[in-house]
Amino acid sequence: MFKVLVSDPISDLGIQQLMDAADVQVEKKTGLGEDELAAIIGEYDALLVRSQTRVTEKIMAAGTKLKVVGRAGVGVDNIDLEAATKRGIIVINAPDGNTITTCEHTFAMMMALARHIPQAYAKTVGGVWDRKSFLGVELRNKTLGVMGMGRIGSEVAKRAKAFGMNILAFDPFLTQERAEKMEVKLASVDDIIRNADFMTVHTPLTPETRHMISRPQFEVMKKGMRIINCARGGIIDEVALVEAINEGIVAGAAFDVFEIEPPQIDHPFLSNPKVIVTPHLGASTVEAQENVAIDVSEEVLHILRNEPFKNAVNMPPVAASVMNRLQPYFSIGEKLGSFAAQSANQAVNEIHVDYAGDLSDVDTLPLTRYIVKGVLAHHLGSGVNIVNCMHLAKSRDINVVVTKASKSKGFTNLLTVTLKTQNNEETLVAGTLLNGYGERIVQIDKFPVDVAPEGHQILISHNDKPGMIGSVGTLLGQNDVNIASMQVGRKIIGGEAIMILTVDKAVQKDVLNQLTTLPELNSAIEITL
Ligand SMILES: NC(=O)c1ccc[n+]([C@@H]2O[C@H](COP(=O)([O-])OP(=O)(O)OC[C@H]3O[C@@H](n4cnc5c(N)ncnc54)[C@H](O)[C@@H]3O)[C@@H](O)[C@H]2O)c1
Ligand SMILES: O=C(O)[C@H](O)COP(=O)(O)O
């Protein structure tokens, strides 16, 4: 039974599928502080949050069972991604579910700003019929500067066109072609600052975007600018903005987000008559909350059930077409990694993966992750998974090298894993999927074999002499070890050879030691897959 903790207000309808799942138990505990959450998170396999819960290193460390943190929304700046990745905790978000809702809130804020709606409301309900103080401006023919033309920024630009606005757009990934298609003018930050009448920001909060609009920008800003922030507090320097408003550079601002949320009671926005504020409501509609909760619940279920998933924030996205081609090889890849690690008897400093055949023309990184996980899990245990395996390899100075070849000798796809150890020894194992036969190991070091990678195996290195098979079989029989299958691999008669046996149960260390006493037998190790 998987236990899921919901620590922020998330739509019940949206998480219904989690609550209906027979293998899942959902508990809601909102408003918890860091210590309170850290005290209980160890019981849970998944944590669902919005932006209120700060999922810190301390909480990740306490979440010893945690497989996934699901963010029912876009921004994940409240989640310590590095801490999650280091611990193999997958972080997913719901990037699409609240796009339109936030775009509409942005427009609501822009209109409210242009027509002084909240201020007029407050005065009217206060009994003052004031028709002089709230002279507004039209949006038509005004210039809107959009910083960040992703999902939300693009939707805002579309609607601004319908309002007859001219749009200047800045986004490092916005091409001239796409700008023309969207009928916006590609602009720099400086262009927007000096020419726009309204500015709206729709970027993530990153070291690059933090305070991207601050004192230097206000000093050259077009006088009378109106600024909207429904993205993240901190993109616009709040202190510098208040100064610019007080100096008459900025005519007004509408903020849904703050550098620190909730803002302190003495926050200058809260007492400034030219600043409109809402309490991070950009995604707060029935529709958006159902959307993001459904999206995140689906992926959390997939992850808990070890099924393919999407929207991982701390892993690169994989196209479904690529995933469909790679997924059949995940299991054999992980087993090859594990087999190689169990065969190598020295510390590994390089994992070389070679893809030969059809797979050489796709991005094989997801499959490489399973191979690396297989290598590392042998020594590092269950704390290794496809999220943190590359991070763990790098942190141990283990170099992961991938090579590809369009052709492979006789196989549709051949995966070859070679481990290099610190004393320059190499351990090689190659495998594939054979139609009708499934997973097969087809090479160990330089020896061809044909072995199903499963169960308990004994890998023996010996000299190719008559009687070797009989001696091994007799000794194992004397120790009540039943042989299910046996393969011998050799390159030349009388030379070096290997024997790979599949046996019915784990082999005692003593039996392996007895094997090494047999004449012409060089080594015997047990491999469990
Ligand atoms: N107020 C709310 O409740 C609310 C709701 C949803 C999203 N958001 C926030 O709004 C922001 C945008 O969301 P989205 O879904 O459009 O994200 P998105 O990833 O689709 O778009 C973000 C865009 O910002 C661009 N960008 C990154 N750095 C930039 C920079 N330095 N200058 C200009 N552009 C830059 C990216 O290229 C990208 O196109 C996110 O921070 C998200 O957390 C807030
Ligand atoms: O990044 C987001 O999705 C928004 O900031 C929404 O945050 P919320 O889920 O806390 O409303």
What is the pLDDT of the chain when averaged over all its residues?
94
Which atom, in ligand 1's list, is nearest to the CA of 147? 33
Using most ligand atoms within 8 A of CB, pick from 77, 171, 212, 257 the residue to mutate for ligand 1.
Answer: 171
pLDDT in tens, 14-33: 999 999 999 999 999 999 99
Residue 106 burial (CB count, 10 A): 27
- Cα of 463 from ligand 1 centre, angstroms: 64
What is the predicted pLDDT for the residue at 3?
A: 98
Which atom, in ligand 2's list, is nearest to the CA of 280? 11
Q: Give me the mean pLDDT over the 324-336 stretch.
A: 94
pLDDT surpasses 90 at 188: yes
What is the predicted pLDDT for the residue at 309?
A: 85
Q: Give me the mean pLDDT over the 166-177 stretch.
A: 92
- Residues 6+ away with beta carbon under 8 Å from 153: 146, 147, 169, 171, 200, 202, 203
pLDDT surpasses 90 at 88: no
Percent of the chain residues topping a pLDDT of 70? 100
Q: Give me the mean pLDDT over the 285-314 stretch.
A: 92
Please state which of the ranges 22-36, 76-90, 208-222 shows the lowest mean pLDDT: 76-90
DSSP character at residue 259: S
Please state which of the ranges 230-244, 316-330, 362-376, 450-464 shows the lowest mean pLDDT: 316-330
Q: Give me the mean pLDDT over the 423-442 stretch.
A: 91
Concerning whether 232 is annotated as a catalytic residue, the answer is yes
- Cα of 72 from ligand 2 centre, angstroms: 7
Percent of the chain residues topping a pLDDT of 90? 85
**Residue 205 CA: which ligand is closest?**
1
Specify whether the CB–CB gap between 39 and 59 falls below 8 A.
no
Q: Give me the mean pLDDT over the 502-515 stretch.
A: 94
pLDDT in tens, 192-214: 999 999 999 999 998 889 999 99
What is the predicted pLDDT for the residue at 346?
A: 78
Concerning whether 391 is annotated as a catalytic residue, the answer is no
What is the predicted pLDDT for the residue at 314?
A: 87
**Residue 230 CA: which ligand is closest?**
1
Q: Is the CB of 207 under 6 A from ligand 1?
A: no
Q: Give me the mean pLDDT over the 422-451 stretch.
A: 92
Concerning whether 261 is annotated as a catalytic residue, the answer is yes
Residues 448, 20: Cα–Cα separation, whole Å: 50
Tokens 């507004």 map to which residue? Answer: 136
What is the predicted pLDDT for the residue at 343?
A: 92
**Residue 151 CA: which ligand is closest?**
1
pLDDT surpasses 80 at 382: no
pLDDT in tens, 105-156: 999 999 999 999 999 999 999 999 999 999 999 999 999 999 999 999 999 9
Residue (of 270, 392, 302) closest to 311 by Cα position: 302
pLDDT in tens, 471-504: 999 999 999 999 999 999 998 999 999 999 999 9
- Cα of 184 from ligand 2 centre, angstroms: 27
What is the predicted pLDDT for the residue at 425?
A: 87
Q: Is the dihedral of CA 441, 443, 444, 448 positive or negative?
A: positive
What is the predicted pLDDT for the residue at 59?
A: 97
- Residues 6+ away with beta carbon under 8 Å from 83: 56, 57, 60, 61, 89
Please state which of the ranges 124-133, 316-325, 459-468 shows the lowest mean pLDDT: 316-325
What is the predicted pLDDT for the residue at 113?
A: 98
Q: What's the pTM value of the predicted model, to 2 decimals? A: 0.78
Ligand 2 binding pocket (C-beta < 6 A) is 50-51, 72-75, 98, 280, 282-284
What is the predicted pLDDT for the residue at 321?
A: 86
Q: Give me the mean pLDDT over the 278-290 stretch.
A: 97
Which atom, in ligand 1's list, is nearest to the CA of 232? 41
pLDDT surpasses 90 at 512: yes
ipTM value for the complex: 0.99
Q: Is the CB of 170 under 6 A from ligand 1?
A: yes
- Cα of 70 from ligand 2 centre, angstroms: 12
Catalytic residue among 261, 307, 425, 520: 261
Residue (of 78, 37, 32) closest to 61 by Cα position: 37
Q: Is the CB of 340 under 6 A from ligand 1?
A: no
Q: Give me the mean pLDDT over the 175-183 stretch.
A: 91
Catalytic residue among 280, 325, 369, 378: 280
Protein residue closest via CA to atom 27 of ligand 1: 203
Q: Is the CB of 75 under 6 A from ligand 1?
A: yes
pLDDT surpasses 90 at 407: no
- Residues 6+ away with beta carbon under 8 Å from 384: 88, 373, 376, 377, 392
Residues 421, 207: Cα–Cα separation, whole Å: 39
pLDDT in tens, 358-379: 999 999 999 999 999 999 988 7
pLDDT in tens, 338-357: 999 999 877 888 999 999 99
What is the predicted pLDDT for the residue at 20?
A: 96
Q: Give me the mean pLDDT over the 422-438 stretch.
A: 89
Residue 320 burial (CB count, 10 A): 9
Of 158 and 379, the structure prediction assigns the larger pLDDT to: 158
